[in-house]
Structure 1
Amino acid sequence: MQDKEDTCSSANPIIVTSQNEKTTLLGTTKQDYASILRWMSFANTDLLTRLATWYLPLLGSMPYNKKTVEDNAAASRTALKVLETHLTANTFLVGERITLADIFTAGIIRRAFATVLDKKFRSEFVALTRWFNTVVNQGYWKDVIPEATFVEEAIKYTPPKKEEKPKKEAPKPAAKEEEEEEPDVKPEVKAKHPLEALGKPTLILDEWKRQYSNNDTRPVAMPWFWQNYKPEEYSLWLVDYKYNDELKLTFMANNLIGGFFARLEGSRKYLFGAASVYGENYKCLIRGAFLVRGQEHIPAFDVAPDWESYEFKKLDHTNEEDRKLVEDLWAWDVPVVREGKEWPHVDGHVFK
């Protein structure tokens, strides 16, 4: 899950794990699955980069800047505190048994325990350390990594020694090599996106994305959109997260949106939309609106493995309430109303 470059993707483990129909690593309910994706997204977006940019400069694998390392160390502790708080009241990240969320997240922070999360840190983050020990002592983990490494004292930066430059030798004349004929290699044909069959639309999506990005949303961008919208080429969809009661901190909910958008990359040519978090910590929801090429949403959204965690409702551009809903969700300047209650806008992402 984690390579030597310290970059990873949460999509591949999900795909591999899902091949086993009897696995319990993806939870037993759709709510479990959604929570697993949320924690994996949190690990991939909030933990991975912060931890890596804390310890890699100390190892000499990245350029060292004292302030940057200190800032990333503080940011890492803040993110790890989220895990500590959750694991103080829960044995595992999701449910009562180990899931892919635990394995994936432990894989993200494994090298941090071996380099910077020292004995003093572990004495402060007791629940996190207990959980990590539980995960790394499972048989399937030990088959790959027999022993986990725990550093006693965090590593410190050591400036590299200056090496003496060897004296330059006069270049030798290059020997002539016979040119070898390269075999003909046929380029790999990429699978076409199903929406490509619809052909080129008259409303160019990139032009709308420029209008939205470069102009005020309500006074300029939205009038342009309604004037140029082609209902025979596109459709509008309201998107609601199904498991809002599982959401905790608003920034984690926003990270969930970011992870979902990252997994929609394969449909970027056919989608535009915005989704936001509304409410407050421990009482929030995710809602958004999308412009989709064609009249069905599934061909555009099923590139993301977690698309079924969302409900999709087709909107009518001739209905004033639906038009207002689209404008509100794209403008981010008013709360949403659900069940008679106002939920203030917190943060969001635009997919463009």
Structure 2
Amino acid sequence: MTLKLYTYPGNKNAFKALIAAQYVGTKIEVPSFSMGVDNKKPEFLKLNPNGKVPTLETPTGGVWESNAIARYVARLSDKGLFGASAFEEALVEQWIDFTTTELDAPLLSWILPILGHWPYDKKKEEGAIAAVKKAMALLDRHLTKNTYLVGHAATLADIVGVCNLYHGYTKLFDEGFRKSFPHVTRWWLTLAHQPAFAAVLGEVKLCQQPMKFTPPKKDAAEKADGAAKKEAAPKKEKEPKKESAPKKAAAVEEEDPAEPKPEPKAKNPLDELPKSTMVLDAWKRLYSNTPGAKFREIAVNGLWAGADIPNSPTQEHFAGYDPEGFSIWFCDYKYPEENTVNYIVMNKVGGFLQRIDYVRKYAFGVMCILKDDKGQFPIRGVWIFRGQGIPPIMLDECYDLELYNWTRVDIADPKQKARVEDMIAEEATIDGLEHIECKIFK
């Protein structure tokens, strides 16, 4: 069987299928491919209408999305890449989803602006780094007692995980960063040097100096050019023949009174609220920076009573929850009978959180995916909102809200308060149900 993988050189997402091919003994051709040219050709769009890479050409058609391609290749031969049992297969899928959504996604948010592919925003970068550290800490705890993610040999979960962390270990994670996650680093290096991985990754060089954002040189040149023009401007004003030129330019730039003026941008009513003693970003930093072993003690208790933020370079203190400036809400997905496939449910929650990115300044949320005895995956969450209700912009623009029942929390009720704490602490059992996965909006 002839397989062709279309990609550009160094695409870590293409590495997944190529490493899997090494394990199952399948040859994959990687033809020369020019992005911006070949991916727009009709024959390629028949394989992948998105026009993206990697894309795998098989005798029966195209397969796209890197994890799907890797799964396809891994199933071409029974080499144990999905574990040794149905349970281990589920764990393989679990870790594939985890490293993709909780590590690869924030890593892209961290590195792509540095590379110039996305606009750079320092606050978003800080949020991405915090998300990576949180996921790395969870992974490190798991690998404390495990050589591989699942079982006693490499599986597709390890292949996808190593590839998802490739840019982190080669471009972003310096020695100081790596020391915080010794078990993940041990696992990553062990696998990267195994023959099947090394045949694709080549010689791996760990990051020594992490990549950082630097403004484009063009901006500096434009500023310098603008400064030079300003310095030259006064000299021109002394020339009598050119005195009328600025007036003509001003006349041209005047607004046409017959042309309607653009509507002024409406202010967010939440920005007009009285100042609160609680700073939401400070809570998010407390949540992200608190070590797992002391999370209940510091972060959960600190939500109500306030706490010093661990590892804060400025010794920042979170003042505690302010019921006058904020409100807390439970949400419960109305149709749990629809939720019978775990990864589809996780994608559903992930899509909801992506669609409300515009409210990040005013909200913090924990979305818990549970499992009941019917094989269903109920979705239940807790949210902290600025103000005394759900943000108006969410009510106006987010259709997902109608899929949930929303109930305001009465923190004077010990049971409701305890439920808030259990969700934020990501306890193993929520509402008497097994807690499968948790997604955070911060």
Residue in structure 1 matched with residue 74 of structure 2 by the alignment: 17
Q: Distance in 1 between matches of 2:107 and 2:66?
A: 16
**For 1:278, which of 359, 370, 375 is the aligned residue?**
370
Query: Taking structure 1 as reference, are residues 256 and 106 closer, same or farther at Cα in structure 2, changes over 3 Å only?
Result: farther
Note the 1:126-275 alignment, pairs <5 A.
126-162=182-218, 257-259=345-347
Amino acid at match of 1:41: D
Residue in structure 1 matched with residue 163 of structure 2 by the alignment: 107
**1:9 CA drift (Å):** 3.7
Report 1 or 2 for greater relative contact order, CA contacts < 8 Å, sequence distance ≥ 6: 1
**1:62 CA drift (Å):** 2.1
Query: Taking structure 1 as reference, are residues 157 and 31 closer, same or farther at Cα in structure 2, changes over 3 Å only?
Result: same
Preserved contact between residue 26 and residue 36 of structure 1 (Cα < 8 Å): yes
**1:329-350 per-position Cα deviation (integer Å, ceiling 9, x unaligned):** 98699x9xxxxx962597899x
Amino acid at match of 1:159: P
Query: Taking structure 1 as reference, are residues 143 and 217 closer, same or farther at Cα in structure 2, changes over 3 Å only?
Result: closer
Amino acid at match of 2:370: Y
Preserved contact between residue 339 and residue 345 of structure 2 (Cα < 8 Å): no
Residue in structure 2 matched with residue 65 of structure 1 by the alignment: 121
Q: Distance in 1 between matches of 2:113 and 2:87?
A: 39
Q: Distance in 2 between matches of 1:348 and 1:120?
A: 28
**1:62-93 per-position Cα deviation (integer Å, ceiling 9, x unaligned):** 21111111111111111111111101111110
Secondary structure of 2:129 counterpart: helix
Are 2:137 and 1:49 equivalent residues in the alignment? Answer: no
Q: Distance in 1 between matches of 2:344 and 2:197?
A: 26
Query: Taking structure 1 as reference, are residues 261 and 26 closer, same or farther at Cα in structure 2, changes over 3 Å only?
Result: farther
Secondary structure of 1:43 counterpart: helix
**1:175-223 per-position Cα deviation (integer Å, ceiling 9, x unaligned):** xxxxxxxxxxxxxxxxxxxxxxxxxxxxxxxxxxxxxxxxx999xx99x
**1:199-255 per-position Cα deviation (integer Å, ceiling 9, x unaligned):** xxxxxxxxxxxxxxxxx999xx99xxxxxxxxxxxxx978767xxxxxxxxxxx7x6
Secondary structure of 2:69 counterpart: helix
Preserved contact between residue 88 and residue 127 of structure 1 (Cα < 8 Å): yes
Residue in structure 1 matched with residue 13 of structure 2 by the alignment: 2
Residue in structure 1 matched with residue 152 of structure 2 by the alignment: 96
Query: Taking structure 1 as reference, are residues 17 and 151 closer, same or farther at Cα in structure 2, changes over 3 Å only?
Result: same
User: What are structure 1's unaligned runs of at least 5 residues?
Assistant: 166-215, 223-235, 242-252, 263-274, 290-328, 336-340
Query: Taking structure 1 as reference, are residues 120 and 238 closer, same or farther at Cα in structure 2, changes over 3 Å only?
Result: closer
Compare CA radii of gyration and give the structure with the larger one: 2
User: What are structure 2's unaligned runs of at least 5 residues?
Assistant: 1-11, 15-34, 36-51, 55-64, 223-330, 351-366, 379-402, 408-418, 420-429
How many residues are treated as equivalent by the alignment?
212
Q: Distance in 1 between matches of 2:373 and 2:178?
A: 32
Residue in structure 2 matched with residue 343 of structure 1 by the alignment: 432
Preserved contact between residue 27 and residue 99 of structure 1 (Cα < 8 Å): yes
Residue in structure 2 matched with residue 232 of structure 1 by the alignment: none
**1:285 CA drift (Å):** 9.4
Q: Distance in 1 between matches of 2:173 and 2:209?
A: 8
**1:103 CA drift (Å):** 0.7
TM norm structure 1: 0.50
Q: Distance in 2 between matches of 1:258 and 1:138?
A: 32
**For 1:79, which of 135, 140, 147 is the aligned residue?**
135
Preserved contact between residue 38 and residue 256 of structure 1 (Cα < 8 Å): no
Q: Distance in 1 between matches of 2:179 and 2:431?
A: 43
Q: Distance in 1 between matches of 2:176 and 2:69?
A: 35
Q: Distance in 2 between matches of 1:27 and 1:259?
A: 23
**1:47 CA drift (Å):** 1.1
Secondary structure of 1:38 counterpart: helix
**1:149 CA drift (Å):** 2.4
CA RMSD of aligned residues (A): 4.3
Amino acid at match of 2:175: K
TM norm structure 2: 0.41
Secondary structure of 1:13 counterpart: helix
Amino acid at match of 2:345: I
Amino acid at match of 2:189: N
**1:61 CA drift (Å):** 2.8
